[in-house]
Structure 1
Amino acid sequence: MGTNSITDIFFDLDHTLWDFDRNSAMTFEKIFRIHNIGVDLPEFLEVYEPINLEYWKLYREDKIDKPSLRYGRLKNSFDKISMSVSDEVINLLSEDYINYLPENNFLFEGAFEILNYLKPKYSLHIITNGFHEVQHGKLDKSNIASYFKTVTTSEMVGVKKPNPLIFHHALELAGVKAKNSLMIGDNLEADVMGSLEVGLDAICFNIHGTELDSNVKQVSNLIELKSFL
């Protein structure tokens, strides 16, 4: 599909525009200090990051709910580094993590440049599986909310990417057809395959250089989107 028919671009937020891992690490550093958790931060993050991704996969597949995700990813991480932390403290950490996370707002390199490049040419939107209240905080505090005409979260729709319903809802909210739309996101299953399934074109933001099928459009830096758009 040629990009000359594209009028609307949908972005994922976490791991695509908003540098989740960097912001998350800074948040953990703060809440561990607040609660006097004597943990080696790099060691914790090394186990936490893959566990968190696994929990999000379960959440995406409706196998766990939001409280289970928030508690389980921390509990599992502490268990894996053989650190005993009470459920009460884990729940406090979980709450503080969500509250403090939007205070750190590093975006990926080139985020503002590419948004400024795209905004005069296309209508821009967000589709995210992240929690509604947290995602709006991230958009506001990182100063990118004004770039987007609509924001669709999985909690608004009741389903998560790659479920077709969230894409249909986002398209309806934006008032655009799938054939005139493009999705950009880091997750092959949720963002790329989910979009293609409902007729949106898609580009994978392949920040980690994962080996992808040759027919998947991909960039490793946001500025490379200019070659497609």
Structure 2
Amino acid sequence: MQYKHLFFDLDHTLWDFEANSRQTLQQLYHSLGLADRGVTNFDLFHKQYIVHNDKLWDRYRNGFIKVDELRWKRMWLTLLDFKIGDEPLARQMGEEFLDALPTRNILFPYTIEILTYLRGKGYRLHLITNGFQKTQHSKLENSGLTGFFGEVITSEGSNSLKPHKEIFEYAFRVTGAEPEESIMLGDSIEADIQGAINAGIDQVYINHLGVEPAIKPTYTVSSLKELETIF
């Protein structure tokens, strides 16, 4: 068996971030009465949120902003698109969003089955995630994934971020894994695949969206079930 340690990403790979995020935003939309404030189209609100969230996460990954700024400014900028300049509301939304989001439990198809399969074959499973410590552990607990992973390495806990090699080196130290017996599995070419390349380990690109990657990973699958053809 070439690989012993399988390092998974969480959001967008196993835990369906888009579906869970949409549900949570919809809950806030109704509970905070945003329709009465002028946000008459939730779908457009959600679309704008995704745009701002992606841009701010990119800035966060590259060290231009701090985590606290990311958490509320994605709401602030989205509200501004609807001419709502209410900073206290944006900060309230940021807090309530982070409280509610990790309680969601929508997973990609075959998540539980493939983790059970891989564990049964003797692989050691871990997570490397750019998410926040408390938030990611809550997601795992609420979606029934906690028991599958030996170590959960977060950007917060490691003081580094994918794609920087330091978070992978931290993961090797914590787990006792050697690079040659390790492989990274994730949905992001920029964070997961390039990060694994930077760290000198093989990669599986989990291409849920059918995107043509800019670089060639070691393996590419379009669904979690296809991992059975590799491991």
TM-score (normalised: structure 1):
0.94
Q: State the one-letter code of the partner of 2:201.
A: L
Match of 2:163 in 1: 162
Match of 2:200 in 1: 199
Q: Secondary structure at the match of 1:73?
A: helix
Separation in 2, partners of 1:220, 1:44: 29
Q: Secondary structure at the match of 1:17?
A: coil
Q: State the one-letter code of the partner of 1:166.
A: I
Q: State the one-letter code of the partner of 2:211.
A: T
Q: Is the 8 A contact 2:76 2:90 kept in 1?
A: yes
Separation in 2, partners of 1:36, 1:206: 37
C-alpha displacement at 1:73, in angstroms?
1.2
Separation in 1, partners of 2:54, 2:224: 22
C-alpha displacement at 1:79, in angstroms?
2.2
5 Å-filtered alignment, 1:67-216, equals 67-80=68-81, 82-121=82-121, 122-213=123-214, 215-216=216-217
Match of 1:10 in 2: 7
Pairwise CA RMSD: 1.2
Separation in 2, partners of 1:195, 1:220: 19
Match of 1:56 in 2: 57
Unaligned residue ranges in structure 2 (runs of 5+):
none
Separation in 2, partners of 1:148, 1:211: 30
Separation in 2, partners of 1:218, 1:51: 28
CA deviation vs aligned residue, 1:60-106 (integer Å, no higher than 9, x gap): 111111111112211222223x2314100110010000000012110
Match of 1:20 in 2: 17
Unaligned residue ranges in structure 1 (runs of 5+):
none
Separation in 2, partners of 1:85, 1:79: 6
Match of 2:225 in 1: 223
Q: Aligned pairs, how many?
A: 225
Q: Secondary structure at the match of 1:10?
A: strand
Q: Secondary structure at the match of 1:5?
A: coil
Separation in 1, partners of 2:223, 2:104: 21
Separation in 1, partners of 2:160, 2:5: 22
Q: State the one-letter code of the partner of 2:144.
A: N
Cα 1:98–1:181 change in 2 (3 A) is same
Q: State the one-letter code of the partner of 1:19.
A: D
Match of 2:32 in 1: 35
Q: Secondary structure at the match of 2:120?
A: coil
What is the aligned-residue identity percentage?
35
Separation in 1, partners of 2:212, 2:10: 22
CA deviation vs aligned residue, 1:164-206 (integer Å, no higher than 9, x gap): 1100111111111011011001111110011122121101111
Cα 1:165–1:31 change in 2 (3 A) is same
Cα 1:128–1:214 change in 2 (3 A) is closer
TM-score (normalised: structure 2):
0.94
C-alpha displacement at 1:215, in angstroms?
3.1
Which stretch of the first structure deviates more once superposed, 37-46 or 94-103? Answer: 37-46
Separation in 2, partners of 1:213, 1:187: 11
Q: Is the 8 A contact 2:189 2:215 kept in 1?
A: no
Q: State the one-letter code of the partner of 1:18.
A: W
